[in-house]
Amino acid sequence: MDIEFPSKLVQKVIDELSRLPGIGQRTAMRLALYILSQDDNYAASLSEAVKNMKDNVKHCEICHNISDNDICSTCANPKRDHSIVCVVEDVRDFIAIEETGQYNGVYHILDGVISPINGIGIDDLNIAGLIDRVENDKNIREIIFALPTTVEGETTALYLYKKLSDKGVEINTIARGVAFGDELEYTDQITLGRSIVNRVAYQTR
C-alpha cells in the first residue's frame, strides 16, 4: 500500500504476513484486521502456535520428515512395512501419498530436488542420508521414487538410481500415465504419448 497504515503495530503484522507465499499486501491486511477483530485468545493462540512449532519441531532421524520426536510416527510404527522406502521431495508429497491410503511402507524426505539454477546441489539435500540408510538397513528391499516429472526431479531420480543401483535393492518409480477419469482428448501429448509407449498388460479387477 502506498499510504501509511494508521497503526505501525498492524503494519508490522501486514509486513510479516505478506512474506508468506501467495499472500499479497491486501490479503495480509485483511488477515491482520481479522486477527485483530477476533477475541484475545485467537491472536495469542496463533502467536504461540507459530513460536512453539518453530522452536520445537524436529526432523525424524531416519526419514527426515518433520516430527515432534526424534523418530517420526511413521518410522516408529511397527505396522508399517519397513522394507519399502518411498522417496519424496517434501512433506507435502508425503501427505499427498498418505491421503491416498494406498501405501503402507515408509518414506525418505529429500527436502528438495537437485536444482543447479536455484543453487541446490546434492549436499543441500538429504541424499547422503538415503544412501547411508540403504547401506545400513539390510531390511530394505525396495525403493520407490515419487519425484516430480521436472528436469530437476528427473535429474535427482537418475542420480539416486546411479548411487543405489548396486546396493541390492529393487528400484521403482510411481506409475505415470493418463489420470483416472481424464478424457484422452484433453490429456497433454507427453503424458498420452508415453502412456502408449509404456503400455501395461490389461488386468481385470
* Contacts of its own copies in 57-96 (CB under 8 A): 57, 60, 65-68, 72-74, 90-92, 94-95
By beta-carbon proximity to its own copies, the closer residue of 45 and 172 is 45
Beta strands in 57-103 (DSSP E): 58-59, 66-67, 81-88
Contacting its own copies within 24-43 (CB under 8 A): 27, 29-36, 40, 42-43
Q: Is 2 in the site for its own copies (CB under 8 A)?
A: yes
Give the residue, chosen from 78, 79, 99, 136, that forms a contact with its own copies under the rule CB under 8 A: 99
d(CA 57, CA 132): 24
CA–centroid distance for 62 within its chain: 16
The H or E element containing residue 143 is strand 142-146
Rounded Cα distance, 153 and 112, in Å? 9
Stretch that binds its own copies, among 20-28, 126-134, 155-163, 188-196 (CB under 8 A): 20-28
Q: Which is nearer to its own copies, 14 or 164 (CB)?
A: 14
Residues 6+ apart with CB under 8 A from 35: 13, 42, 43, 46
Nearer to its own copies, 73 or 198 (CB): 73
Tell me, by CB under 8 A, how many residues bind its own copies: 61
SS3 content of the chain, % helix, strand, coil (to 5): 45, 15, 40
Q: Which residues pair with 143 in a beta bridge?
A: 85, 171
Q: Quick one: 95 or 174, whose CB is closer to its own copies? A: 95
Query: Which stretches within 101-138 are classed as H helix?
Result: 127-136
Report, in Å, the least distance between residue 18 CB and its own copies: 11
Q: Is 6 in the site for its own copies (CB under 8 A)?
A: yes
Binding site for its own copies (CB under 8 A): 1-10, 12-13, 15-17, 19-23, 27, 29-36, 40, 42-57, 60, 65-68, 72-74, 90-92, 94-95, 98-99
